Amino acid sequence: MALEFRRGRSDESPGRELLGELIDLFNAQYPGRAARPGSVTTPEEMVPPDGAFLVGYEDGRPVAIGGVRRLEESVCEIKRMYVVPEARSRGAGRALLAALEDAARELGYERVRLDSGPAQQHSRLLFADSGYVEIPQYNANHIADYFAEKVL
């Protein structure tokens, strides 16, 4: 699957709509999440100079999103990875993860972290296959039970 990644914002179309789909998915997977989100990331955290938000396009149609935000001087976090259902299992998630890692490198980060909840077993397999190693909990996300890091 060939995707073209463009910088965008999570509060502007088409990122806003895809992020809405992701939030709906999380709220369905984790009852009570709407009232008590596990992690809050603002649009401003995922724009330069410390962050990035990418939209992946297939044949001009937006099919994937993801962001990078600063945690520490040399450490960032990948947030809000989402691939529309019809683009899954065709390499879009792997391409998105690689593009987010490239964006992190361009921003000068040396390490990248991420977390996920128990409903994201497929994501964990992708992360492990992409060189992420499990680490102790690094944030207060009460929904997440998986925390990982990769040296870029």
Q: Looking at residue 38, what is its pLDDT?
A: 72
Give the pLDDT mean for 121-128: 94
Q: Looking at residue 34, what is its pLDDT?
A: 73
List pLDDT tens digits, range 45-93. Answer: 999 999 999 999 999 999 999 999 999 999 999 999 999 999 999 999 9
Residue of 150, 72, 143, 142 lying closest to 114 (CA atoms): 150
Q: Looking at residue 112, what is its pLDDT?
A: 98
How many whole angstroms separate alpha carbon 65 and alpha carbon 137? 24
User: Which CATH code, of 3.40.50.300, 3.30.930.10, 3.40.630.30, 3.10.20.30, is assigned to 4-109?
Assistant: 3.40.630.30
Burial class (CB in 10 A: 0-12, 13-18, 19+), 50: middle
Query: Could you tell me the CA-to-CA distances from 149 to 57, 71, 109, 110 in Å, in that order?
Result: 27, 12, 12, 11
List Cβ neighbours of 139 (8 Å cut-off, separation of 6 or more): 39, 77, 115, 147
Cβ atoms of 142 and 36 within 8 Å: the answer is yes
Q: Looking at residue 147, what is its pLDDT?
A: 97
Spans of all domains in the chain: 4-109
Confidence of residue 7 (pLDDT cuts 50, 70, 90): very high
Q: pTM for the complete prediction?
A: 0.95
Give the pLDDT mean for 16-38: 87
* pLDDT over 80 at 1, yes or no: no
Q: Looking at residue 117, what is its pLDDT?
A: 94
Q: Looking at residue 39, what is its pLDDT?
A: 77
Beta strands at 75-83 and 111-116: parallel, antiparallel or unpaired: parallel
